[in-house]
Amino acid sequence: MSRPSQLELVNWCKGESIDLKHALLLYGVPEGVSRDEIEETAGTIKALGKVVVKGKIDEYFCYKCGENGHIATRCTAPENPQKVIRKLI
């Protein structure tokens, strides 16, 4: 996927109830890398302290059409409330 925008990070943090001041976006992480492996790698950067992977932004989905990988403000697809509700419950 392309580089996520700052807006996507901000919205994602809101959705996950994470303080943006304590959030760091890692992108370009290859598919199939586990959270443990990401935490272990990021943890080698001592300045970061303890690193906890809270989720992947490509698991994030659009609240308008229900598709993964983009957010509603960037959505060009038609609204699909049924799909959004299925993902929320």
Q: Which residue ranges make up the site for Zn ion (CB under 5 A)? A: 62, 64-65, 67, 75, 77
To Zn ion, the closest distance from the beta carbon of 81 in angstroms equals 12
Name the residue nearer to Zn ion (CB basis): 34 or 82.
Answer: 82
Name the residue nearer to Zn ion (CB basis): 9 or 62.
Answer: 62
Name the residue nearer to Zn ion (CB basis): 38 or 63.
Answer: 63
Q: Tell me the DSSP string of the chain.
A: -PPPPHHHHHHHHHHHT--GGG------PPTT--HHHHHHHHHTSGGG-S------GGG-B-TTT--BTS-GGG--SPP-HHHHHHHH-
Length of the chain: 89
To Zn ion, the closest distance from the beta carbon of 85 in angstroms equals 14
To Zn ion, the closest distance from the beta carbon of 25 in angstroms equals 20
